[in-house]
Chain A
């Protein structure tokens, strides 16, 4: 088969077929269009302003590794004027997270960015290893997800950043749209496609790779020879998400634009007022100061259940009532240190309908 030329520069050999457009392009043009599209995503949404302190949520995996590299490249090329940091959460999973953190530490040197690692052990007094030892492999992803979200916000507050960017890509977002449709969660449907979310008081969270296909992220890492870690979490079967992902990949194989089409469908769902009204008004957790839709935030409830040996208390209402019936919270259990953001510590958030458990 004769080698085709790049349709953009018409001089070099094409090496990638873009899933979004079907264009066949060369390596240099691929780097260029990939980076430019991320820059356009960032500038069209006005994600940053000069002087912003931005933490890149870094897991050592492909998406966040490419994100760190591209953020650094664009910050230099377009003079964003950002102070970039790497923020990693150590869930305490032997043989998984300890290895991926080594990758992040190498990234810190390669990209010359300060790195903050915050561990579950430090914040909650429990590692995922010890949680799984107590509760087994059922529901452990619930603990991990709730704990990670709060740990990211707290790590960001420690770094005194304005903004966290995460490596969620177009495939991830399309998958979350599908999952929200499958479980009838219309309120989250529009929200999960938002490029930037922010509560009144909390740090902004953005997804600069919202429109970047996973295939292109992996190709980019491959051709740039970026160093990333790729092993599945040993505790995470995540069967439901796995089915959604497999289904999405089948759709993509039949028609590559499916991913972007699904994101656009999600964006087209507007939350009607009466649905919005059923979402709980946000308040601040009375125990730890983190944003919450109840008196106690989800992390504090989960932690209390762990500490009292009733781990399901944070999972089901029934188990929660059972724990409450066992008596008041003992004084001597471990709690999460009180949360204070750098801007407006502990102030209530009456207008905030942000849901802290948005999955994506």
Chain B
């Protein structure tokens, strides 16, 4: 089983992802953790999946201490991820996830 997601990068973050703003991806709907239990796929998993599958350069500008680097805004279906449980948000088929860097020039 897998789910489809629409991923958008903005604010200069797209430069780390082949300079492409919009990506359509498909990821497994469940992941198996080290102790053998399976759980539905969440945003934390997606962040690492993006690093391993889409990121082309300068990982440190995207991930820091196991989550997105401070200064990167994340939106889940156009809502601040801070309202959606951040990394614990359980992804659904058709979700749209947006990552925007706030760190680039004014």
Contact = CB atoms under 8 A, between A and B. Distances in A.
Interface of A: 1, 4, 13-17, 24, 59, 61-64, 167-169, 171-172, 214-215, 217-219, 222-223, 229-233, 245-246, 249-250, 252-253
Contacts of B78: 15, 223
A15 B11 contact: no
A13 B106 CA distance: 30
Closest 3 CB pairs of A and B: A63-B106, A249-B70, A230-B12
Given A17-B82, A24-B83, A215 B73 contact: yes
Nearest to A14: B83
A222 B106 contact: no
5 contacts: A59-B105, A222-B100, A231-B105, A232-B105, A252-B70
B7 to A, nearest CB: 15
A170 to B, nearest CB: 12
B75 interface: yes
Given A171-B102, A218-B73, A245-B103, 13 more contacts: A1-B85, A1-B89, A24-B83, A59-B106, A61-B104, A167-B106, A168-B106, A218-B102, A229-B105, A230-B12, A232-B12, A232-B105, A253-B70
A169 B71 CA distance: 14
A242 B78 CA distance: 29
The majority secondary structure among interface residues of chain B is loop
A123 to B, nearest CB: 21
Given A61-B105, A232-B12, A15 B83 contact: yes
A219 B11 contact: no
A171 B102 CA distance: 10
A218 B79 contact: no
Contact of A16 (B80, B89, B103): B80
Interface string B64-106: 0000011101010011101111000100000000101111111
Contacts of B79: 13-16
Contacts of A61: 104-106
Contacts of A171: 102
A64 B105 CA distance: 10
A214 B71 CA distance: 9
A209 to B, nearest CB: 9
